[in-house]
Chain A
Amino acid sequence: MSNVPAELKYTKSHEWVAVDGDSVTIGISDHAQDLLGDMVFIELPEVGTTFSAGDECAVVESVKAASDVYSPVAGEVTEVNENLVDSPETVNSDPYQAGWLFKMKLADAGQLDGLLDADAYSGVAADDAH
């Protein structure tokens, strides 16, 4: 069974969100990295770009396939994880810490309520595995 930290929020499309005031950090779940396999290339958004919830905002490419990452909430990109350019495999080895993708300044804190908690996401991941 994949790791689903209780303190994070999730989307059905397998992104995770860590909330710190009006700043959010976004990555892909352990379940998602496990499904995709070894990462070989991560295309990150540019700092300053604004996204609406559900926008395609990044691409993670594994040995198997290219997969879009969707912005879980609306906001402006404030920082991207430059380490992933040369070490995309960090997303496999440490999806919730060193493998974060980018940070955003939240446009609407109310959108966080629409995200899944760890229990709900575990259910999504389990359904997905069958």
Chain B
Amino acid sequence: MGKQTPLYDKHVVMGAKMVDFGGWEMPLRYGSQIDEHHQVRNDAGMFDVSHMSVVDFTGPDTRAFFRKLFANNVDRLSTPGKALYTCMLNEAGGVLDDLIVYYMDENWFRVVFNAATHDKDLAWVTEQVKPFDVEITEPSNVSMIAVQGPNAREKVCSVYDDPIRSTIAELAPFTGVQMGELFVSRTGYTGEDGFEIILPDSQVNDLWRSLYGVGVKPIGLGARDSLRLEAGMNLYGSDMDETTSPLESGLGWTVARDPEDRDFIGREALEKLRSDGVTKKFVGLILEEKGVLRNHQKIFVNGLESGEITSGGFSPTLGKSIAFARVSKETGGTCKVEIRGKQVTATVVKLPFVRNGKAVQH
């Protein structure tokens, strides 16, 4: 038996198929995964993301510590509540995790790590923090709900009273705010507008019920995956891991090279990789024929193996199969994907596939 979130009983009552995800028993889908996907693209859906790890870093050296710990530069954060997406690298430039860091105040940053990497991440930061005056604490007994979709903000606002309602209504994109025990950020993993809400375990069932009451439908991990895939967002463990650098994972934009003297962990390895030449790139694929692209299928260009799919699946918005692939740098135009011994043609495109609920024209 895996770990259960405080919403576990709700999922079961709502008919969810439960699956193991990073040691947690999480809902895969409640009914049709494709309907859940469209619900988020067209209206509003909610996800139990209580398995994700919320960690607070406090103390006078926090900013200095994060300058070293993260590949993106926390000096980009100066407005309280502002969030930054970054990779945390090992010395070899491999990705230990991808995460969001929130700047709360000069003595307090909040980080949301992936669930499956929790133990590894905590061990790493606990080791790296030693020279710094920083305290690491994990708020206990907190849950997290993501509410996503074009109507998500309006519906979330409708279940709160002022002053919370007006505060979150005015929240800028990629910003969070702490109000007593409640933390709300305008972030997500679907490409849609919406919020992620962190609150005490004791309140999460009430919020879930209130949101359901205003027409926010529960959405499982299955649709969460197809939504993020369409939106061009990486999944840790599939699209990148400790053996791949952000430069080969479509995440070069998150690595802040300026200023040159910021000595973050993994910098030296990435600079060497750049000067030696990055041989792989990260692209989108659209399958023009019938079939479904899946993780680890091989890519061929002119009969030579070019790479493989890191995440593949069916895109309900496009009505076609799509994928992310790590391929040789020269790959472009079209390529062949090997599916059960047969080679089919896919178009190589830039990410994302879907923006603001609409298919991107390639």
Chain A residues engaging chain B, CB cutoff 8 angstroms: 37-38, 40-41, 43, 59, 61, 63-66, 85, 89, 92
14 contacts between A and B (CB under 8 A): A38-B32, A40-B34, A40-B292, A43-B290, A59-B340, A61-B292, A63-B313, A63-B314, A64-B33, A64-B222, A65-B294, A66-B292, A66-B294, A85-B290
Contact A63 B291 (CB under 8 A): no
Contacts of A59 in B (CB 8 A): 340
Residue numbers in B under 8 Å from A63 (CB-CB) = 33-34, 222, 226, 313-314
B29 at the interface (CB under 8 A from A): yes
CB within 8 Å: A-B pair count: 38
Given known contacts A37-B29, A38-B33, A66-B340, is B222 in contact with A61 (CB within 8 Å)?
no
* Cβ < 8 Å to A, chain B residues 17-43: 28-29, 32-34
Whether A37 and B222, one on each chain, are in contact in the complex, defined by CB atoms closer than 8 angstroms, is: yes
Q: Are A37 and B340 in contact (CB under 8 A)?
A: no
A41 to B34 CA separation, bound complex (whole angstroms): 13
A63 to B292, CA, bound (A): 9
Within the assembled complex, what's the spacing in Å between the Cα atoms of A41 and B294? 13
Minimum distance in angstroms from B144 CB to a CB of chain A: 25
B291 and A38 contacting across the interface, CB-CB below 8 Å: no
What is the CA–CA distance of A41 and B291 in the complex, to the nearest angstrom?
6
Cβ of B321 within 8 Å of any chain A Cβ, yes or no, is yes
Q: 10 additional contacts, CB 8 Å, given A40-B34, A41-B314?
A: A37-B33, A38-B32, A40-B292, A40-B321, A41-B292, A43-B291, A61-B291, A63-B222, A63-B226, A66-B294
A37 to B292, CA, bound (A): 14
Q: How many angstroms from the CA of A59 to the CA of B342 in the assembled complex?
A: 13
Looking at the assembled complex, report how far the CB atom of A45 sits from the nearest CB atom of chain B, in whole angstroms: 14
- Residue-wise interface mask of B (210-240) relative to A, using a CB-CB cutoff of 8 A (1 in contact, 0 not): 0000000000001000100000000000000
- Chain A residues in 8 Å Cβ range of B29: 37
| Cα-based distance from A4 to B153 in the complex (angstroms) | 44
